[in-house]
Amino acid sequence: MTDNSEQKPLAGKIALVTGASRGIGAATAKALAAKGAHVVLVARKVKDLEEVEDAIHDAGGTSTIAPLDLTDGESIGRLAQAIAERWDRLDILVICAAQLPTLTPVTQIDGKQFNQALTLNVLATQALLAAFDALLKRSENGRIIGLTSSVGANPRAFWGAYGSTKAAFDNLLETHGREIERISETRVAVVDPGATRTDMRARAYPGEDPDSVKPPSVVADHIVQMLVDDFPNLCRERVETPR
């Protein structure tokens, strides 16, 4: 008989995934649940979250939907309070939610779109880290994984708006990791998913054949395997396309 701990190595873990209604976020939520974690699904659209939750439950997993707008800092605080009241801790935080402004020269960046991307990609990240810091510290081994982009570290023409938000995103996560490494068991990792078949990529590369890039499940499996195997603080990884 197979040991259940081998089939469900994340059993008993409470995980929160942002951007969980589609793409890499949805795939990661399903993969976490398949390994035994109870997953809190965070995104704006209730219907899409319910579809992910149904898929998790149909596969024998457990989850809770938490529809909210991450650009509303007060909503993040209320969610943290609700999780504290129900579980008193958070074991895993995966930050997938992000917004891609229109690709354009720096001199032509739309101020409204740029502000929206800064709010979701940067300000909401800080709000999440602040709101869930205490709950992650109550875990025996709290883990934070943030999904970044290569354009954050390597500027690319016309990607200035998005790239600059991801540079700030990376900086926030890595700085937080350095600040807590001597006072907490919490560890931080930044993962670059690489070219992945998502709606965001389809908008950025409208002429690309979707089948030429890997599906979100590949990234999700990589993230979950990182959590099962565990990783050192300030770990950075890139998910390559399988050969």
pLDDT of 1: 43
Q: Is residue 97 part of a domain?
A: yes
- The rounded mean pLDDT for the chain is 96
Predicted confidence band of residue 3 (pLDDT cuts 50, 70, 90): low
pLDDT tens-digit map of 41-72: 999 999 999 999 999 999 999 999 999 999 99
Q: Is residue 57 part of a domain?
A: yes
Q: Is residue 29 part of a domain?
A: yes
Q: Is the pLDDT of residue 2 over 90?
A: no
Structure tokens at 217: 């499940």
Q: Is residue 131 part of a domain?
A: yes
pLDDT of 242: 78
Query: Looking at the annotation, which residues are catalytic?
Result: 162
Q: Is residue 1 part of a domain?
A: no
Q: Is the pLDDT of residue 243 over 90?
A: no
Tell me what percent of the residues of the chain surpass a pLDDT of 70: 98
Q: Is residue 3 part of a domain?
A: no
pLDDT of 73: 84
Q: Is residue 151 part of a domain?
A: yes
Model pTM score = 0.96
Mean pLDDT score, 17-21? 98
Residues 93, 12: Cα–Cα separation, whole Å: 15
pLDDT of 192: 98
Residue-range definition of the domain harbouring residue 118? 8-238
Q: Is the pLDDT of residue 163 over 70?
A: yes
Domain count across the chain: 1
Q: Is the pLDDT of residue 193 over 60?
A: yes
Task: Report phi then psi at 49, rounded to 5.
Answer: -65, -40
Q: Is the pLDDT of residue 39 over 60?
A: yes
Predicted confidence band of residue 166 (pLDDT cuts 50, 70, 90): very high
pLDDT of 71: 93
pLDDT of 241: 79
The domain that contains 102 carries what CATH number?
Answer: 3.40.50.720
Mean pLDDT score, 87-112? 98
Q: Is residue 243 part of a domain?
A: no
